């Protein structure tokens, strides 16, 4: 968790700084933010105008049987994380839209504090409209995913990130593992166009490596790679659609 005093000092921009200094300072803000690693990558890419928009999800789930004190502590941490995220976005001057809601299930309650952010107001509004409509294709395109990948997701023609990649020729698997590009993949690749779609991910990887070595090193060290990770890796679009179900059940504000 960020130190509040240090965090406030980091938000104070120097009056006269060169563009490259400003960019470096603001990327450091994103690196030190309380966001999840994948959300940090998406935010940096939006900030650098590589992606049109992003969804930043913060949530906490607790059992109804939990003690009130424990529940309140979790909610306080969620609110603190949300407010720190809001301050980062304000300092970056990126247009954003935030909303907090809760959804109740049989045994648990999910409370979410989410953000939609765009590289400009037009891109933000496009994502906001897609979120409100819940149309899968509109969501995917608003987030900047290749149309072929979005169509593949809708039609159930997405590569299984564990099984299909493991069936690739040894040479291809060796090269993919060496470059680490699959660790930057957060959308489903279509079965017919996955090689072309992967080029976009390679571009994102190069940008992150150049502009944020700190984030790059962290994700390269993670185990979330279809070539070695045992288990299913959920894509951002799947996470959003799942979150939308909760959103529809219990919108709060």
Q: What confidence score (pLDDT) does residue 232 get?
A: 46
**Residue 252: closest CA among 118, 109, 88:** 109
Is pLDDT above 90 for 235? no
Q: Record the tokens describing residue 156, joined without a space.
A: 């159930």
Q: What confidence score (pLDDT) does residue 229 get?
A: 44
Is pLDDT above 70 for 76? yes
Phi, psi of 158 (to 5 degrees): -105, 140
Per-residue pLDDT tens over the stretch 29-65: 999 999 989 899 999 999 999 999 999 988 888 888 8
Is pLDDT above 60 for 223? yes
Q: Where are the alpha helices (DSSP H) in 64-193?
A: 68-92, 121-133, 136-142, 147-154, 163-166, 170-179
Higher pLDDT, 227 or 198: 198
Q: For the chain, percent helix, then strand, then coil, each to nearest 5?
A: 55, 15, 30
Interatomic CA distance for residues 184 and 145, integer angstroms? 13
């Amino acid at each position: 968790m960020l130190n509040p005093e240090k965090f406030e000092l980091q938000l104070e921009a120097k009056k006269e700084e060169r563009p490259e200094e400003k960019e470096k300072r603001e990327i450091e803000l994103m690196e030190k933010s309380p966001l999840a690693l994948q959300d940090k990558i998406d935010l940096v890419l939006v900030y650098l105008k590589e992606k049109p928009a992003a969804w930043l999800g913060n949530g906490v789930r607790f059992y109804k049987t939990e003690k009130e004190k424990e529940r309140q502590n979790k909610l306080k941490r969620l609110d603190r994380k949300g407010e720190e995220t809001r301050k980062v976005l304000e300092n970056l001057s990126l247009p954003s839209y935030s909303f907090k809601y809760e959804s109740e299930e049989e045994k648990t309650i999910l409370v979410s504090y989410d953000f939609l952010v765009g590289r400009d107001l037009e891109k933000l509004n496009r994502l906001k409209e897609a979120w409100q409509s819940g149309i899968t294709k509109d969501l995917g395109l608003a987030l900047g995913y290749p149309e072929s990948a979005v169509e593949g997701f809708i039609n159930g023609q997405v590569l299984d990130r564990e099984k299909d990649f493991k069936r690739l020729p040894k040479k291809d698997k060796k090269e993919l593992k060496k470059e680490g590009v699959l660790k930057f993949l957060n959308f489903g690749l279509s079965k017919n166009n996955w090689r072309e779609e992967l080029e976009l991910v390679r571009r994102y990887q190069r940008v992150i490596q150049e502009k944020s070595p700190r984030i790059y090193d962290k994700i390269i060290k993670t185990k979330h790679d279809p070539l070695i990770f045992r288990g299913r890796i959920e894509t951002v679009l799947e996470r959003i659609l799942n979150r939308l179900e909760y959103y529809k059940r219990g919108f709060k504000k």
